[in-house]
């Protein structure tokens, strides 16, 4: 209430809710650790699993930490259950996995 301009209010809120660099760095590390520990369960769908991963990644990116789609693609390819092996093998044979988009991978696995 004591702040006079909108910029002062914005700066105060930004400082209050963003935290300092050390806190952002720790939050980012915790989220990256959470991302690395994710495993797809047999009862889980690709959509649910990818949404969970993307939720974590978006939080990391909000903290101004670089997180490429390649890491997400690799994570999905490594952690999906065996029932997706045929789809992954087909992708490997028909596409260059280093150039595939995240959306294309998720759509292929959902089909």
pLDDT at 87: 87
Domain annotation covers residue 61: yes
pLDDT at residue 98, as a whole number:
80
**CA 52/CA 40 separation, integer angstroms:** 10
**pLDDT: is 95 or 30 the higher one?**
30
Tell me if 103 is assigned to some domain.
yes
Residue 69 predicted with pLDDT over 70: yes
Average pLDDT, the chain: 87
Residue pLDDT, tens place only, 4-58: 889 988 888 777 666 677 788 888 999 999 999 999 998 999 999 999 999 999 9
pLDDT at 91: 85
Note whether residue 53 is domain-resident: yes
- Look at the chain and report how many structural domains it folds into: 1
| Nearest-angstrom CA–CA distance, 26 and 24 | 5
- Residue 2 counted as domain residue: no
- Whether residue 12 is contained in a domain is answered as yes
d(CA 19, CA 105): 36
Residue 34: domain span: 7-110
Question: Does some domain include residue 1?
Answer: no
The better pLDDT of the pair 23, 104 is held by: 104
Q: CA torsion sign, 43 to 87 to 96 to 101?
A: negative
**Structural domain includes residue 93:** yes
Mean pLDDT of 101-111: 89
Q: What is the pLDDT of residue 90?
A: 87
Residue 84 counted as domain residue: yes
Angle between helices 21-37 and 46-62 (to 10 degrees): 160
């Amino acid at each position: 209430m004591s702040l006079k301009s909108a910029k002062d209010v914005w700066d105060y809120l930004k400082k209050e809710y963003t935290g300092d660099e050390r806190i952002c760095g720790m939050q980012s590390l915790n989220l990256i650790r959470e991302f690395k520990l994710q495993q797809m369960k047999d009862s889980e769908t690709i959509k649910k699993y990818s949404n969970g991963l993307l939720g974590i990644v978006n939080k990391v990116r909000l903290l101004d930490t670089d997180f490429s789609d390649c890491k997400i693609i690799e994570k999905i390819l490594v952690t999906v259950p065996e029932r997706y092996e045929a789809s992954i093998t087909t992708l490997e044979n028909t596409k260059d996995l280093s150039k595939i988009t995240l959306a294309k991978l998720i759509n292929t696995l959902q089909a």
